[in-house]
Structure 1
Amino acid sequence: MTKVSLEALIAGVRTGGLVSFPTDTVPALATLPERAELIFAAKQRSQDKPLILMGAIAEDLWPYVKGSEEEYQIWQQVVSKYWPGALTLVLPASNRVPQVMNPNDPTTIGIRVPNSAIAQTILAQTGPLATTSANFSGQPALLTMAEIDAQFPTVLTLESNATAETSLGLPSTVAKWTGESWQILRQGAVSLD
């Protein structure tokens, strides 16, 4: 069993380990951005499916994207309305994003701030993490720490009393910036105006 305290989970991810924790959508599989290959390997995930960079607050994520002053204003308006929440924005990536986060297209990065106290607590102490849903690629998202523990026995998960929060069980909406407007790549819990 790899159920650990919040402190041990944070220490584990800081040392480059693979962890799982609840979010407002589905539980996340997470690691440091430069160790993202651990997620691809654990999930048996194809390299053409990029990971999401999750942060505690928007300010933690802005260094990982690049755009014009005008674009930042548009992005900030969307973020002010929907974050924290179930919306992932796919934006032009800055050179701070490790290529292993999105091996096939290192020019973009998906970013999100979850509306989850536990996730925000972890992310505030680790900095932004490479994340995705906790499941084998192509399988439904696992919704409980017990299921995650069974499928990924080496992944650190939170002790069950630390996971009283409920998640939607629905993935985040993914919206990609095209340079002038938003393209919905996956409709999830949030409907973008």
Structure 2
Amino acid sequence: MALVSLAALVASARSGKLVSFPTDTVPALAVRPDRSADIFTLKQRSPDKPLILMAASWQEFLPFLDIAHPDLAIWQQTAQKYFAGAVTLVLPASDRGCTLNQGFTTLGIRIPDSKTAIAILQQTGAMLTTSANKSNEPPLRKMLEINDAFPSVITLGDAIDINEQSGSGLPSTVVEWTQTGWVVRRQGAVSF
């Protein structure tokens, strides 16, 4: 599969194909929320390693979150402070959100601080994402490497340097809402 334009990538993503595009951290491997099994299969990823839902706005996360939760306002304030950026918030999921990651009642959400990623997500809606690599291997940082490693993935190759390292290379900081408040699960690019 060749590297494609943004418009072709969006069309492929909407039709349910696996796609890859740059973000502020490492390039994303992304798929429509109803096609999560495709990422697990491609990456040979264990089902106990959940995927992150990425979107262009807070509103797009709401169908996937437990919006009846008494702490919704705190989550929204935290999201306003840290989004867009390299922070993933892990929050109690709605019934629909629980279907995205087998065996989980929470969902990691993130809005990337990347004009390219936002432009794509504004057109595709929320996408399930992970780093572009086989499980337990380092994330691939160049779009050309991703295209070579995953020929079946539709990879963005237009209006960007496909030979350049994409993003900071640092993972997002993952923080989970618990009964006692926020707990840092993975220290990444941002101090929380």
TM above 0.5, one fold?
yes
Alpha-carbon offset, residue 68 of structure 1:
4.9
Q: Deviations over 1:114-155 (max 9, x none)?
A: 001111111111110010000000011110101101110110
Match of 1:161 among 154, 159, 162: 159
Q: How does 1:30-49 map to 2 (within 5 A)?
A: 30-49=30-49
- Distance (Å, rounded) in 1 between the aligned partners of 2:94 and 2:68: 12
Match of 1:133 among 131, 134, 140: 131
Percent identity reads 53
Q: Deviations over 1:59-103 (max 9, x none)?
A: 11122111556411111121111100000011011122262x211
Match of 1:142 among 124, 135, 140: 140
- Distance (Å, rounded) in 2 between the aligned partners of 1:179 and 1:68: 15
Unaligned 5+ runs, structure 1: none
Q: Is the 8 A contact 1:2 1:154 kept in 2?
A: no
- Distance (Å, rounded) in 1 between the aligned partners of 2:98 and 2:176: 19
TM-score, normalised via structure 2 length: 0.93
Aligned to 2:84: 84
Alpha-carbon offset, residue 162 of structure 1:
3.1
AA aligned opposite 1:7: A
Q: Is the 8 A contact 2:31 2:129 kept in 1?
A: yes
> Cα RMSD between the aligned structures?
1.6
Alpha-carbon offset, residue 166 of structure 1:
4.8
Alpha-carbon offset, residue 180 of structure 1:
3.1
Q: Is the 8 A contact 1:33 1:98 kept in 2?
A: no
Alpha-carbon offset, residue 42 of structure 1:
0.7
TM-score, normalised via structure 1 length: 0.93
